[in-house]
Amino acid sequence: MLLAEKSNVFEQLGLTWQEVIFHAISLCLLAVVLWYLLYKPVKKMIQERKTKIQEVFEKNQKLQQEANSSKREYEQLLMQAREEATIVAQEATAKAQESVKSILEEAEKKAEAIVGVAHKETVVEFTRMQNEFKEKAADIIIDIASKIVEREVNEKDNKKFIEECLKEWDK
């Protein structure tokens, strides 16, 4: 009865049970073919892609680790270089300060020598000017004295002076 009811339904749809079985078998065949021709390759492809992606990911991780390690090494080297640079700068500063000190000392000595020479020259020049002044002053004094003597010496003074000379020579 059930079969009869079902074959009635198929007849209402315009299908025979042979056609249905045929279509069912075709569908199964199609499914199998698709399984082998499409599903499996695609799955394989996906799996391969997955594996590749995994490899790439692992490679990236490895590279990342190497990069981090390099970065740490670089930072260490940089710190060392900075320390060395600081030491070099300090040494250079100390050397420069020593040089400056030495140059200043030498300059001071030279300045002292120059001052010494200048002082000597000043003293010599002063002495020379002093002597020159003395001579000129003496010339002026004698000149004035001569004029005064010429004007002021009278007969009496002259006589007295001559008598003193004679007395002196007679000794």
Partner 1 sequence: MVKKHLIKIVVSQEIGSTLQKKVEAFLQKKHAGVELDFEYEVDSSILGGLLIIDGDQYYDGTLKNQLIKVRKSFK
Q: Which of 12, 72, 149, 171 is in the footprint of partner 1 by CB under 8 A?
A: 149
Q: Which of 49, 82, 119, 159 is in the footprint of partner 1 by CB under 8 A?
A: 159
Q: Is 124 in the site for partner 1 (CB under 8 A)?
A: no
Q: Is 132 in the site for partner 1 (CB under 8 A)?
A: no
Instruction: Please identify, among the stretches 11-19, 75-83, 102-110, 150-158, the one whose residues bind partner 1 according to the rule CB under 8 A.
Output: 150-158
How many CB atoms sit inside 10 A of residue 15's CB? 14
Question: How far is the CA of 37 from the CAs of 27, 43, 84, 98, in angstroms?
Answer: 15, 11, 69, 89
- First vs last C-alpha separation in the chain: 203
Total binding residues toward partner 1, as defined by CB under 8 A: 24
Q: Is 55 in the site for partner 1 (CB under 8 A)?
A: no
Q: In the complex, what is the shortest distance from the CB of residue 125 to partner 1, in angstroms, rounded to a whole number?
A: 19
Nearest in space to 134 (alpha carbons), one of 126, 145, 144 = 126
User: Residue 162: what residue type?
Assistant: I
